[in-house]
Amino acid sequence: MNDSIRTPLATSRRRRIVAVALTVVGGMVAVFAALQSLPAGRAGAAPGASLGDALWSTLRGEPTAADGRIVDGEEPSVFDDVPAVSKLDADLLAALRRAATDAEADGVDFSVTSGWRSPRYQERLLRDAVATYGSREEAARWVATPTTSAHVSGDAVDIGPYAALDWLVRYGADYGLCQIYGNEAWHYELRQEAAVEGCPPMYADPTEDPRMRR
């Protein structure tokens, strides 16, 4: 073949190879940057997981700490700077921190088992609940939709362990912290009037809550 024809073709192939390589490298850099933005130890993988595990979790699109996910066994306190805590409503978070400070004086520590959640994380939890309970109707007793969830708006927090729940039953209303659902002893929201009037009557479960019908 004439060199004057072969050379442009070879050059074109090299350019395509370089373009593909740059695209791959760019994608890897973007994923690495996303992982670096997550708090240490909370990249959406299990405790002690390797960077490779965290990378695989991110590539699969699973919820991460940036979505408000909290890994079992790594529950933060109400004072920690993680999205599940820091993205809670400011008034709710302030009330939680006041209560936690006073509870600590009684030898009781608060941990956050779930706080703020991204819409995609809430949707994932709802899908999991439907699979677990067998129907969307039964799942609704435990998990709200992304558009109705008080967790997504930052207005709800799930607290543990049992000692903290016992403390909140006795003193939570003084801080405006109220259990909202009878079937969820861990779910608390802010009702500022509770400090004077006491907490409102609980709904048996979220399906009785008018907010869930929006």
Task: Look at 51-65, 154-168, 169-183, 187-201 and tell me which has the smallest mean pLDDT.
Answer: 51-65
Confidence of residue 52 (pLDDT cuts 50, 70, 90): very low
3-state secondary structure of 208: helix
* 163, pLDDT greater than 60: yes
| Secondary structure letter of residue 161 according to DSSP | -
Confidence of residue 4 (pLDDT cuts 50, 70, 90): very low
Section 172-187 average pLDDT: 98
Section 177-191 average pLDDT: 98
Section 2-12 average pLDDT: 50
Domain positions in the chain: 1-63, 68-213
Radius of gyration of the chain (CA): 24
In the chain, what percentage of residues exceed pLDDT 70? 72
Rounded to two decimals, what is the model's pTM? Answer: 0.73
Indicate the CATH number of 68-213 among 3.30.1380.10, 3.40.50.1370, 3.20.20.70, 3.10.350.10. Answer: 3.30.1380.10
Q: What's the pLDDT score for residue 13?
A: 62
* 31, pLDDT greater than 70: no
Select from 168, 124, 164 the least CA-distant residue to 144.
124
